[in-house]
Amino acid sequence: MSEHFFATHFGTYRVDQTSAGPSLSAWEGDPQPTPFGLHYLELAQHRCRVAQPMVRRGWLENNSQSIRGADTFIPMDWDRATRLVAHEIERIARVHGNRSIFAGSYGWASAGRFHHAQSQIKRLLNLAGGFTASRHSYSYGTAGAFLPHVLGQDYAGTNACAPSWDQIAHHTDCLVAFGLRLTNAQCDPGGVGRHTVEQWLTRALDRGMRLIVVSPDRADMPDHPNAEHLAIRPNTDTALMLACAYARIQNDTIDRKQIQRLTTGFDRLAAYVMGDSDGVPKTPAWAADVTGVNRSQIERFIEALRAPTSLLNLGWSLQRATAGEQPYWMAIALAAISGQIGRPGGGFAFGLGSVNSVGQPVRHLKTPGLDQGQNPVADFIPVAAIADLLANPGGTLEYNGRTLPLPDTRMVYWAGGNPFHHHQDLNRLRQAWQRPETIVVHEPVWTATAQHADIVLPSTLPFERNDIAVSSNDRTLVFNRATHAPYAEARDDHQICAMIAAHLRLADEFTEKRETDDWLAHLYAGYRERFPELPDYPTFRERGIHTLDAEQDAPRSTTLLADFAAAPEACPLATPSGRIELFSETIASFGYPDCPPHPSWIAPEEWLGGERAQTYPLHLLSPQPTNRLHSQLDAIGASQYDKVAGREAAVFSREDAEARGIEAGDTVKLFNERGACLVGARVSSTLLRGVVLLPTGAWYTPEDPTDPMTLELAGNPNTLTQDRRSSRLSQGSAAHSCLVEAVRRE
Ligand X SMILES: Nc1nc2c(c(=O)[nH]1)N[C@H]1C(S)=C(S)[C@@H](COP(=O)(O)OP(=O)(O)OC[C@H]3O[C@@H](n4cnc5c(=O)[nH]c(N)nc54)[C@H](O)[C@@H]3O)O[C@H]1N2
Q: Which residues are catalytic?
A: 106, 108
The entry of ligand X, Mo ion, none near residue 105 (CB within 5 to 8 angstroms by kind) is none
CB of 703 to ligand X, least distance (A): 20
Q: Indicate the Cα dihedral angle 465, 471, 476, 482, nearest 10°.
A: -10
| Residue 130 touches which of ligand X, Mo ion, none (Cβ within 5-8 Å per kind) | none
Q: Hey, is 423 helix, strand or coil?
A: coil
Closer to ligand X at the Cβ: 263 or 718?
718
**Cβ-based nearer residue to ligand X, 315 or 436:** 315
Judged by beta carbon distances under 5 to 8 A according to partner kind, the member of Mo ion, ligand X, none in contact with residue 234 is: ligand X
**Residue 366 buriedness (CB in 10 A; 0-12 / 13-18 / 19+):** exposed
Residue number, 40 or 316, with CB nearest to Mo ion: 316
* HEC secondary structure over 499-530: HHHHHCCCHHHHHCCCCHHHHHHHHHHHHHHH
In whole angstroms, give the CA distance from residue 575 to residue 573.
Answer: 5
CB of 590 or CB of 601, closer to ligand X: 601
- Give the shortest CB-624-to-ligand X separation in angstroms: 4
State the DSSP string of 58-71: HHHTT-TT--TTSS
377 binding partner (options Mo ion, ligand X, none; Cβ < 5 to 8 Å by kind): none
Amino acid (1-letter code) at residue 492: D
Calpha distance 89→100 (Å, rounded): 10
Q: How far is the CB of 520 from ligand X (least distance, A)?
A: 15
Please answer whether residues 500 and 122 qualify as being in contact, where contact means their C-beta atoms are separated by less than 8 angstroms.
no
CB of 28 to ligand X, least distance (A): 21
Q: 212 vs 270, which CB is nearer to ligand X?
A: 212
Label residues 411-441 b or e (16+ Cβ within 10 Å = b).
Answer: bbbbbbbbbbbbbbbbbbbbebbebbbbbbb
**Contact between 175 and 311 (Cβ < 8 Å):** yes
Choose from Mo ion, ligand X, none: what does 178 bind? Cβ within 5-8 Å by kind.
Answer: ligand X
**Helix, strand, coil abundance in the chain, percent, nearest 5:** 35, 20, 45
Task: Give the nearest distance from C-beta 157 to ligand X in angstroms.
Answer: 13
Gap between the Cα atoms of 343 and 336, Å rounded: 11
Residue 647 beta carbon to Mo ion: minimum distance, rounded to whole angstroms:
23
Q: Computed over its alpha carbons, how large is the radius of gyration of the chain? A: 25
Rounded to a whole number of angstroms, the minimum distance from the CB of residue 144 to ligand X is 11
Q: Provide, rounded to whole angstroms, the least separation between the CB of residue 718 and ligand X.
A: 5
Nearer to ligand X, 491 or 546 (CB): 491
DSSP reduced 3-state for 28: coil
Q: Packing angle between helix 284-291 and helix 295-304, nearest 10 degrees?
A: 110
Name the minimum Å distance from CB 630 to Mo ion: 8
Is residue 139 close enough to count as binding Mo ion by CB under 5 A? yes
Strand order in the sheet with 227-231: 227-231, 210-215, 174-178, 310-314, 347-350
Partner in contact with 425, chosen from ligand X, Mo ion, none, beta carbon below 5 to 8 Å by kind: none
Question: Which entry of Mo ion, ligand X, none binds 126, CB below 5 to 8 A by partner kind?
Answer: none
Residue 32 or 139 with smaller CB distance to Mo ion = 139
Task: Return the number of the residue (540 or 699) whose C-beta is nearest ligand X.
Answer: 699
User: What is the identity of the amino acid at 643?
Assistant: K
Q: How far is the CB of 575 from ligand X (least distance, A)?
A: 25
- Hey, what long-range contacts does 565-571 have (CB within 8 A, 24 or more apart)? 565/262, 565/341, 565/342, 565/343, 566/342, 568/261, 568/262
Out of ligand X, Mo ion, none, what residue 464 binds, judged by CB under 5 to 8 A for its kind, is none
Contact 223, 270 (CB under 8 A): no
Answer yes or no: are the C-beta atoms of 373 and 130 closer than 8 Å: no
Can you give the binding site for ligand X, defined by CB under 6 A?
107-110, 115, 117, 138-139, 178-179, 181, 183-184, 186-187, 214-217, 220, 232, 234-235, 237, 315-318, 320-321, 354-355, 415-418, 421-422, 442-445, 447, 459, 493, 621-626, 629-632, 696, 717-718, 721, 735-736
Q: Report in angstroms how near the CB of residue 172 gets to ligand X at its nearest.
A: 19
Q: What is the DSSP letter of 189?
A: T
Q: Answer with the entry of ligand X, Mo ion, none that 415 interacts with (C-beta below 5 to 8 A by kind).
A: ligand X
Mark the segment that binds Mo ion (CB under 5 A) among 48-56, 138-146, 200-208, 307-315.
138-146
* Residue closer to ligand X, measured from CB, 110 or 575: 110
Q: How many CA atoms lie within 13 A of 402 on its CB side?
A: 12
CB nearer Mo ion, residue 419 or residue 680: 419
For residues 260-297, one letter each, b for 16 or more C-beta atoms within 10 angstroms of the residue's C-beta and e for the rest, the string is: eebbbbbebbbebbbeeeeeebbbbebbbebbbbeeeb
Cβ nearer to ligand X, comparing 10 with 527: 10
- Point out the residue whose Cβ comes nearest to ligand X: 179
Q: How far is the CB of 630 from ligand X (least distance, A)?
A: 3
- Which range of residues in 85-93, 137-145, 462-470, 502-510 is near Mo ion by CB under 5 A? 137-145
Binding of Mo ion by 317 (CB under 5 A): no
Binding mask 87-126 for Mo ion (x = CB under 5 A): ----------------------------------------
**Among candidate residues 470, 382, 356, 384, the one with its CA nearest the CA of residue 116:** 470
The strand pairing partners of 423, in sequence order, are: none
Between CA 724 and CA 387 the distance in angstroms is 10
Q: Out of Mo ion, ligand X, none, which partner does residue 298 contact, by CB within 5 to 8 A per kind?
A: none
Nearest one of 234, 209, 215 to 177, comparing CA atoms: 215
Under a CB-based contact definition with an 8 Å cutoff, are residues 609 and 233 in contact?
A: yes
Instruction: Spell out the residues 6+ positions from residue 641 whose beta carbon is closer than 8 angstroms to its own.
Output: 627
C-beta of 108 vs 583, nearer to ligand X: 108
The answer to whether 600 contacts Mo ion (rule: CB under 5 A) is: no
**Residue among 139 and 263 whose Cβ is closer to Mo ion:** 139
Q: Are 273 and 263 in contact (CB under 8 A)?
A: no
Could you tell me the smallest distance in angstroms from the CB atom of residue 327 to ligand X? 8
Three-state SS for 663-726 is: CCCCEEEEEECCEEEEEEEEEECCECCCEEECCCCCCCCECCCCCCCCEECCCCHHHCCCCCCC
The candidate with the shortest Cα–Cα distance to 161, out of 152, 170, 169, is 152
The item of ligand X, Mo ion, none sharing an interface with residue 409, based on CB under 5 to 8 Å by kind, is: none
Closest-CA residue to 706 (of 113, 68, 143, 252): 68
Binding interface with Mo ion (CB under 5 A)? 139
